[in-house]
Structure 1
Amino acid sequence: MKIATVHETRPHERRVALVPGQVSRLTEAGLQVAVEPDAGRAAGFTDNDYRDAGAEITEDALAGAGAVLSVQPLTARQVRALAPHAITVSFLPATQELELVAALRDAGATSLAMELVPRISRAQPMDALSSQSFVAGYRAALLAAERLPRFLPLSMTASGTIPPARVLVLGAGVAGLQAIATARRLGAVVRAYDVRAASADEVRSLGADFIELELPALEGSGGYAREMTDERSRLQRELLAPHVADADVLITTASVPGRTAPLLVTAEMVAGMRHGSVVVDLAAEGGGNVEGVKPGEEVTIGSATVIGGQNVPSQLPGQASQLYSANVVNLLLLLRSGDYLVPDFEDEIVAGCCVTHGGEVRHGPTKDLLAAGPR
């Protein structure tokens, strides 16, 4: 069976789904690997790197491929070029890509969405959301440090002492914890808040202070926070306002899978921050945690610079690709049956991340939306 890796075509995407270091895992499993020319160039991997690892470089990588690996979803043209019963592995925001899902269904493809991999212990090596959030959290702290017009660490000099910058992180999932750890390594004083009470110990273990708002915790399934009521959201913003005003840097990372990102910080709260403050909203593409944020842009609110994250992991494409590639290959090898890849829907990982198979849509929310038709 041939495994194809395609060149990413969507704007701002610099990652690649398979890095040379993972090719041998597939070839040793009896699979052939074909890679489109320059597929890894933006991430720092040359065609010769892939050849040396045992892959074939070919413009016709898709032809006859039993599985196709990508970071972003395939294009409609690529779907039309798929071999019968091919398997696709990528990020696939199914409810937002209904036409593409319908095309995958009609092509008879088995499409696996990396963001739908269940949050269970056995699936951790395939958890691409976590691996890419890890990259995004690190990058968010660096972005803030670059744009903040002052030092982050405490500086004691013969000319005087400069106190450390104050960083506030809202959301202590994988991205938030990495942002905390990075800001601490840079010397900032860090405080953090999360609606999940269980995150307090993790925050403190990194040397940051956890903010207690005396609100009921919102523990959701799979380690995520669950959605809150409008009244609780309003009260939370009110209680967070003085902490936001006291911060030199604000990093927000909160999201609820499949839903619009919660509004944690109003424009009025940002306007209350001191001159030169920096805000980095990693949830900007999902609607934003900060009012007025724009994905991929910098805006000024009051005297603060507000940066809207857009495909932030792709800003560190080499290592983000290494992590994602390991996730993809781990999932792919879970399907291995002899020299073939055969989805086993008795396996909760495979069943959980499958969007289409055998001419049907298996992902419930997407199936319902397609059945409802255009709105």
Structure 2
Amino acid sequence: MRIAVLKETAAGERRVALTPETAKKFIALGADVAVESGAGEGASISDADYEAAGASVASAPAVVKDADIVMGVRAPDPASLSGASKGAMVAAMFDPFGQRDLVDGYAKAGLEALSMEFMPRITRAQSMDVLSSQSNLSGYKAVLAAANTYGRAFPMMMTAAGTISPAKVFVMGVGVAGLQAIATAKRLGAQVSATDVRSATKEQIKSLGAKPIFVENVAGIEGEGSGGYATEMSEEYQKAQAELVSEHIAKQDIVITTALIPGRPAPRLISDAQIASMKTGSVIYDLAVVQGGNVEGAQADTPVVKHGVTIMGYSNTAGELAPDASALYSRNLYNFLSAFWDKEQGKPILDEEIGDAVRLTQGGKVVNERLNA
């Protein structure tokens, strides 16, 4: 069983799908691990580190040749995998809804595409969930980046010259990223509030010491979709939420938006008029900027100043912490593949529940129900 790891080719992508730590674990399972030279540079991992772990380091063609499993952060171009074994597994993030042509290319190439974004939100798959591990880091980094841009102190400071009031931070969307954003802002000493369309998150917000800001008296709206994700809200709820947010957002110094709906553009949470109501010098960090953005006028990797408010958001926030993001992502992949490792056959044999959820292509066809619906 040969496992191949290539250097990421997407612009600005510094993460790598395998660390020396997990390379050792795969080798202990009996796998032959090959890594493209320079693959770990962006994550502060040298070729010598991989070799010390027992992996071989070579050029891309040599690494891919006869590979049974290819691991990536972003799914590589199928043309670059022409030397892999027939029907080789490729475990990576595919952005299946946004890059359907890529998925079709994998089907034509006869490769078995395994989309890590489609990992089901079930208890036994928690350690395999790349979206959660990367979102955790994204929520943390978003607060730090916003704090740096804000340019003022976060905690309350009492000095002989007077008192500095704590920064007010408002987190919109309380998933994994939002919860980490709340926790990080609280650790920095800010006065934190948060909102979500799912009423079940109220207690989570309170448990972190933040103030829940929720629409009340709109019957029958819980906002909970399958797998713990939020769903789109009714017009009545959207109107009530907009009014509540408009009133609250005008008093905030920093706003972190995190709302995403799988397979759809990011919902618009903050309008230009709401931005105009904020104080000069305030900062908005949009974690959904790549998916269209939660904030009107947001641009990926380019801070925009509107009405004296800075709107920002990295296209790859977790990638800004490449060493830690790579370590967590690599463990996710190991937990996934090793959970189904058949010692007799020396390879992973995926079960139906998780295998069918993540498998996009097999036998020359697109087989995932979510893509064929």
Sort the TM-score into its range (normalised by shorter chain). over 0.9
Calculate the TM-score normalised by the size of structure 1: 0.95
What is the identity, as a one-letter code, of the residue corresponding to 1:107? A
Count of aligned pairs between the two proteins: 367
The residue aligned with 2:122 is 120
- CA distance in structure 2 between the partners assigned to 1:206 and 1:4 by the alignment: 41
Calculate the TM-score normalised by the size of structure 2: 0.96
Secondary structure of 2:3's aligned partner: strand
Extract unaligned runs of 5+ from structure 1: 369-375
Deviations 1:35-76 (CA, angstroms, capped at 9, x unpaired): 000100110100111111110001111001100000001114
What is the identity, as a one-letter code, of the residue corresponding to 2:19? V
State the 1:133 CA deviation. Answer: 0.2
What is the identity, as a one-letter code, of the residue corresponding to 1:242? E
What is the identity, as a one-letter code, of the residue corresponding to 1:88? V
Does the 8 Å contact 2:215/2:240 carry over to 1? no
Deviations 1:195-218 (CA, angstroms, capped at 9, x unpaired): 111111111111111112214321
Secondary structure of 1:61's aligned partner: helix
Identical aligned pairs, as a percentage? 43
Alpha carbons of structure 1 residues 103 and 340: separation in structure 2 relative to 1, 3 Å: farther
The residue aligned with 1:278 is 283
The residue aligned with 2:350 is 344
The residue aligned with 1:177 is 179
- CA distance in structure 2 between the partners assigned to 1:103 and 1:51 by the alignment: 33
The residue aligned with 1:301 is 306
The residue aligned with 2:273 is 268
Secondary structure of 1:96's aligned partner: coil
State the 1:231 CA deviation. Answer: 4.3
Secondary structure of 2:97's aligned partner: helix
**How do 1:224-263 residues align onto structure 2 when only pairs under 5 Å count?**
224-263=229-268
Secondary structure of 1:161's aligned partner: strand
Does the 8 Å contact 1:85/1:358 carry over to 2? yes
The residue aligned with 1:371 is none
Deviations 1:161-203 (CA, angstroms, capped at 9, x unpaired): 0110100000010000001101111110000001111111111
- CA distance in structure 1 between the partners assigned to 2:158 and 2:12 by the alignment: 41
What is the identity, as a one-letter code, of the residue corresponding to 2:185? A
The residue aligned with 1:25 is 25
- CA distance in structure 2 between the partners assigned to 1:99 and 1:213 by the alignment: 40
- CA distance in structure 2 between the partners assigned to 1:334 and 1:104 by the alignment: 24
- CA distance in structure 1 between the partners assigned to 2:287 and 2:145 by the alignment: 11
Deviations 1:256-302 (CA, angstroms, capped at 9, x unpaired): 11111111111110111001000000011111111111122111111
What is the identity, as a one-letter code, of the residue corresponding to 2:313? G
The residue aligned with 2:193 is 191
Asked if 1:86 corresponds to 2:88, the answer is yes
- CA distance in structure 1 between the partners assigned to 2:298 and 2:100 by the alignment: 26
The residue aligned with 1:159 is 161
Does the 8 Å contact 1:297/1:307 carry over to 2? yes
Alpha carbons of structure 1 residues 79 and 230: separation in structure 2 relative to 1, 3 Å: farther
Q: Which moved more, 1:92-101 or 1:140-149?
A: 92-101
Asked if 1:45 corresponds to 2:45, the answer is yes
The residue aligned with 1:99 is 101
Extract unaligned runs of 5+ from structure 2: none
Asked if 1:310 corresponds to 2:312, the answer is no
Does the 8 Å contact 2:78/2:109 carry over to 1? no
The residue aligned with 1:74 is 76
Asked if 1:327 corresponds to 2:332, the answer is yes
Asked if 1:354 corresponds to 2:359, the answer is yes
